[in-house]
Structures are given as structure tokens and as C-alpha cells.
Amino acid sequence: MADNSTVNGQVTDAVTQTNVTVLGESPAQALSNLYQMATHANGMAMQNSVSNQQNLNQLNPVIVADAINLLK
């Protein structure tokens, strides 16, 4: 690097090290984001299945009562 700039070399080194750190940590950040999104999607799927099961459990007595009335 040429020394004709008015910026201190320690400043440019600090900026370069920060950029290298950001680039080095980005794959781990991306993978952790992927894991977090996958876990969230799995949790939402479980909540939806529990909600559907509760709704069906509320409908079952009515369905059985109507079926018994049809058999009479």
C-alpha cells in the first residue's frame, strides 16, 4: 500500500481486520439463521397440528350423536 494517503495506517488496518472478521463470520451467521428458521417452522407445524386436533375433538361428540340419530 502506498503511503501517499493522509489516513493513518492503523485505521486502515483496523477497517481491514473488521471486514475480514465480518466475512469470516458470515457463513456461521447464515447457518444459524437457517437453523432458527427451520426450528420456528417446525414449532409452527406442531402448534397447527395441536390446534387441529383440539378442533376435531370438539366436533367428535356432535358427529357421533348425529350418527347415532341416523341409526335409530
Give the model's pLDDT for residue 18: 87
Is the alpha carbon torsion for 26, 27, 30, 36 positive or negative? negative
pLDDT digit string, tens, across residues 8-63: 888 888 888 888 888 888 899 999 999 999 999 999 999 999 999 999 999 999 99
Instruction: Please state the domain extents for the chain.
Output: 11-72
Give the model's pLDDT for residue 5: 65
Asked whether the predicted pLDDT for residue 66 surpasses 90, the reply is: yes
- Residue with grid cell 457463513, as numbered in its chain: 27
- Residue with grid cell 473488521, as numbered in its chain: 18
Give the model's pLDDT for residue 53: 96
Grid cell in block for residue 70 = 341416523
pLDDT band at 71 (very low <50, low <70, confident <90, very high): very high
First-to-final CA distance of the chain = 95
